[in-house]
Amino acid sequence: MSPRVLPALVVPTARAMPWRPFAAAAGLGLLIVAVPALSGVSLRDRDLATLLRLAAACGAVGAAFLLDDPAARGLAAVPTPRLARQLVRAVLAALAVTVWWARCWPSPLPAPRTAPPARCRCPV
């Protein structure tokens, strides 16, 4: 098998992958992290780490669905080796999980605006 075959496998492999379970798990993970952030609740670092762990678990479940290949036994006779097909599937899953995790990671929120300090009206 030549390396030129791998790019040709990307589109058919992406179409065959079960994206709905990953999207559901990723959406749940985003929801776990976004609800406290959008509601204005201030979380301690330990609580935020727990929420991120839960979101990561949701992402891992979704990634497991992406990596599963139910047709692997039936495709044993095709000229493309199983390792090449699994490599393409793993790269696509890694890209999807990377984009999801980058979106899931909490960004630092700007500090709340407070009134400017009172200025002294004394002549200097």
- How far apart are the C-alpha atoms of 43 and 33, rounded to whole Å? 11
**Average of per-residue pLDDT across 16-40:** 88
Query: In 3D, which of 1, 14, 34, 12 has the Cα closest to residue 90?
Result: 14
- How far apart are the C-alpha atoms of 72 and 75, rounded to whole Å? 5
What's the pLDDT score for residue 93? 93
What residue spans define the domains of the chain? Answer: 5-104
- How far apart are the C-alpha atoms of 26 and 121, rounded to whole Å? 56
What's the pLDDT score for residue 27? 92
Helices (H), 17-81: 19-39, 45-67
What's the pLDDT score for residue 103? 81
pLDDT digits (tens, 9 = 90+) for 4-22: 777 888 888 899 899 999 9
- How far apart are the C-alpha atoms of 88 and 33, rounded to whole Å? 30
pLDDT digits (tens, 9 = 90+) for 66-112: 988 877 777 667 778 888 888 889 999 999 999 988 887 765 544 45
Residue the block writes with tokens 């098998």: 1
pLDDT digits (tens, 9 = 90+) for 39-71: 877 878 888 889 889 999 999 999 999 988 877
Confidence of residue 113 (pLDDT cuts 50, 70, 90): low
